Amino acid sequence: MPGKKREYDEDDVRIRPGRSSRPRTRTRPKHTDAVDALVITVDRGRYGCIREDAESTRGGRRNATPHAEHLDELITAMRARELGRKSVVVGDRVALVGDTSGAPGALARIVRIAERTSVLRRTADDDDTTPEGRLERVVVANADQLVIVSALADPPPRTGFIDRCLVAAYDADVEPLLCLTKADLAGPAGVLDYYAELDLPYVLVQPESDLTGVRERLAGRISVMVGHSGVGKSTLVNRLVPEALRAVGVVSAIGKGRHTSTSAVALRLPRVQKGDPGWIIDTPGIRSFGLAHVSAESLLHGFPDLVEGTVECPPNCGHTAGDVDCRLDAWVAAGKADPRRLASYRRLLSSRAGEDNSRDQSE
């Protein structure tokens, strides 16, 4: 009837479900079709990855990766939200979904990070007064070897820096290798004598010298190269990987406007004989290893020539010069360790505690 009001019931009312009433699930997709890849560069939220295709065998398992010259296969990826706060660093083995073609403009997603076999860390600074005081950073993942590059002259070897690197390597359960450059300018006797008790493996390099011995030490491994400016590390990298300059420029292009010498990058060594030639990870932006993240006990393990000397120390001995009952002084006085090693260890203890920043002294 015209003019009569319509009566409404509950069927006429539409209720939009609130956020809290929507069904939620913790089930995550399995991504069974994900592609395995190795992260070779990281730049502001973008990750350059290379597919891990079966080109070679390492350690009896399939773990091959394309050669560095196949840079057109570089896949740019970003982290999937489901990873949460998990960090992704150079050396990580990851699983990718999405566009893994490596075509210009293509973007994949990292959905899984494989368990790391090793984690090389450093503290940004051992000084609490800095804005980054004691900020722990992961340098690389899954490294097998830390190559400490030091010149024998011009500049002189810095045993303080080498000691720090050794501590970081032992703490990460990564094997150290001392690479002494500019062997044409000075002999290695002084440095080798300083580390005589450690049985530290080393290689000697000079301009135009044969690098066969170096390549043998790097074969089948992921090696991280660190060194101060001027020691010849960049020259060595370019000799080992002739395409290094082009390679670094290409893989760093995912973060435009950034100088290519400031971030770590993994480079595939060229194959010169049968077997896996290995990878090197160049870390030009890392010139020191803060050790605030390393416990005092772990720090001592970086000086195995001093460990036995602490057996008779009283409980909770700090092993500093102020600990009058510390037995390390008597151990050194008895000729069982080099006094320079004890001095270096105590400098690191002080530096770790933020009391002394006099690192990296020259030998």
Range list of β-strands (E), the chain: 35-43, 46-51, 57-58, 61-62, 75-79, 93-98, 108-113, 119-123, 136-141, 145-151, 175-181, 202-204, 222-227, 265-268, 279-282
Q: With both helix axes pointing from N to C terminus, report the angle between 159-172 and 339-352 in degrees, rounded to the nearest 10.
A: 70
Half-sphere exposure of 106 (CA within 13 A, CB side): 17
- Is it true that the peptide bond before 23 is cis, omega within 30 degrees of 0? no
Q: Which of these, 77, 110, 42, 76, lies nearest to 266 by C-alpha position?
A: 42
Per-position pLDDT tens, the chain of length 363: 566 666 666 566 666 656 655 555 566 677 888 999 999 999 888 999 999 863 443 333 334 444 434 444 789 999 998 888 888 999 999 999 999 988 888 999 999 999 999 999 887 654 445 444 456 688 899 999 999 999 999 999 999 899 989 998 988 999 999 999 999 999 999 999 999 888 899 999 999 899 999 999 999 999 999 998 889 998 999 999 987 664 444 444 444 434 344 578 999 999 877 788 999 999 876 666 778 888 877 888 889 899 999 998 998 898 988 888 999 999 999 999 999 999 999 988 887 765 544 445 555
Say what the pTM is: 0.78
Residues 174, 168: Cα–Cα separation, whole Å:
8
Place of tokens 């399939």: 62
**Could you tell me if residue 209 is left (phi over 0), alpha (psi between -120 and 50 degrees) or otherwise beta?**
beta
Could you give the 3-state DSSP secondary structure of residue 32? coil
H-type helices in 119-186, by residue range? 159-172
133, 127 contact by CB (below 8 A) = yes
Place of tokens 């990460």: 172
